[in-house]
Amino acid sequence: MILMTIEKKIRELYQVNPKTRILVEKIHEKAKLLEEEGYDNIRIMNFCGTHEWTITHYGIRTLMPENIELIAGPGCPVCITPGHYVDILTDLSFDEYTVLSYGDSYKLPGTRIKGIRSLFDARLHGGKTEIVYSFYDAVKKAINNKDKKYVFFAVGFETTMPSTAVPLVNNMVPENLYILSAYRLTPPIMKYLLEKHPEARLSGILAPGHVSAIIGANSWLFLPRDYGVPTVVAGFEPLDVLVAVYYILDMLLSKKPSLINEYTRVVKPEGNIYAKEMIKRAYKIIDSYWRGIGIVPSSGAIHREEYNNRDILHILGIEDKPMKDVLPGCRCPEVTLGLAKPTDCPLFLKACTPSNPYGPCMVSSEGTCKIWAENLPIRIK
Ligand code: SF4
């Protein structure tokens, strides 16, 4: 049954685009040549949770030669959002504030093991928490309910930062709407990973397509230049991923690591100039804590002084002080850094499931544990 499911997916993949089969054969040819040169374990990290979904859903790992390992990276913003932010917001939801959150952060656990662990739990216990689809929805809600106070949980990477930056800069955020900025930046975590965790042994990197549409493909030039790691900015179709793997193998073989932008239909070298300018005007870059990982230099964003009147931590004088937020038994930080697989966690699909997530990597559709849990038969190699 399991094999039939894998075969069905791969058959679909080949039917959608017959070139896929040719590409897979070429990947095998390159991998064989690399094996002859001593590359017996080529570890290619896909930064982005959406790449992980494509790889896992379509069974792309099953198509890879033995000496190629595709590993998931830190590209799930919900997974790395500090737990103490959730604690702060759940507490505020029992006070005079209504907390507004994207759906994928709604079940994110805070640091508490028992009781009210998430915004979802808070709602069940009478806290005022709601899901919104965008910051624009939050703005509309605040405008329509002037007698209430709202806090928006701003979780995300550079892709989502413009959604609050543009209204802030244009003075469009109503006075009864505040923001908790949990924004994190992507290039600094890859720099951190390569420097602090050489045991990850990255041979190549698939850089994120969505993020790069904002920050630009050139933001990843430092990976081949400073660390000698072949890097490809890739789109999210199965063929995009396979082309990116092929390019990485080609660069390894030629011993010429560089940056290739495979996703030119969306990503420009310089990115989105307007969005970058808005982010720069609204936010100040600071060293920031990543859940279970530590302080990563220049990886977070807080509001510039002129927007402090919209910053809930500033308004209430709450210190942004990380607390121990790795839940007992959860291996999410290692999963996030490519040092463990979800199946290495004893809680995977036992105490931690998509419908009842215990750890942060099981919450969002970009979380590696959730992706593996929902595509279980497909991921078996
Ligand atoms: Fe954490 Fe759950 Fe993943 Fe285990 S399965 S690492 S508990 S998120």
Report which protein residue has its CA nearest ligand 1's atom 5.
348
For ligand 1, atom 2: residue with the closest CA: 359
**Distance in Å, CA 308 to ligand 1 centroid:** 35
The answer to whether residue 352 is domain-embedded is: yes
Residue 234 lies in a domain: no
Q: What is the structure's pLDDT at 19? A: 81
Biggest alpha carbon–alpha carbon distance for the chain: 70
Structural domain boundaries, residue 343: 333-375
Q: For each of the chain's 381 residues, which pLDDT tens digit applies?
A: 444 566 777 777 777 777 888 999 999 999 999 999 999 999 999 999 999 999 999 889 999 999 999 999 999 999 999 999 999 999 999 999 999 999 999 999 999 988 999 999 999 999 999 999 999 999 999 999 999 999 999 999 999 999 999 999 999 999 999 999 999 999 999 999 999 999 999 999 999 999 999 999 999 999 999 999 999 999 999 999 999 999 999 999 999 999 999 999 999 999 999 999 999 999 999 999 999 999 999 999 999 999 999 999 999 999 999 989 999 999 999 999 999 999 999 999 999 999 999 999 999 999 999 999 998 764 444
Ligand 1 pocket: which of 117, 348, 372 to mutate (most atoms within 8 A of CB): 348
Total domains in the chain come to 1
Query: How buried is 256 (Cβ within 10 angstroms: 0-12 exposed, 13-18 middle, 19+ buried)?
Result: exposed
Amino acid at 373: A
**Residues lining ligand 1, Cβ inside 6 A:** 330-332, 335, 342, 345, 347-348, 352, 358-359, 361-362, 369
CA–centroid distance, residue 109 to ligand 1 (Å): 12
Q: Is residue 96 part of a domain?
A: no
What span, in angstroms and rounded, lies between the C-alpha atoms of 225 and 208? 18
- Domain annotation covers residue 344: yes
Distance 79 CA to ligand 1 centre (A): 10
For residue 201, the CA-to-ligand 1 centroid distance in Å is: 22
Ligand 1 atom with minimal separation from the 360 CA: 8
Distances 262 to 70, 224, 257, 366 between C-alpha atoms, Å: 18, 15, 15, 21
> Does a structural domain hold residue 363?
yes
Is residue 365 included in any domain, yes or no? yes
- The Å distance, Cα 370 to ligand 1 centre, comes to 9
Residue with the smallest CA separation from ligand 1 atom 8 is 359
> Are the CB atoms for 74 and 37 separated by under 8 Å?
no
DSSP string, 182-218: --B-HHHHHHHHHHH-GGG--SEEEE-HHHHHHH-GG
| 339 within a domain of the structure (yes/no) | yes
Contact 71, 61 (CB under 8 A): no
Any domain includes 286: no
Interatomic CA distance for residues 244 and 265, integer angstroms: 14
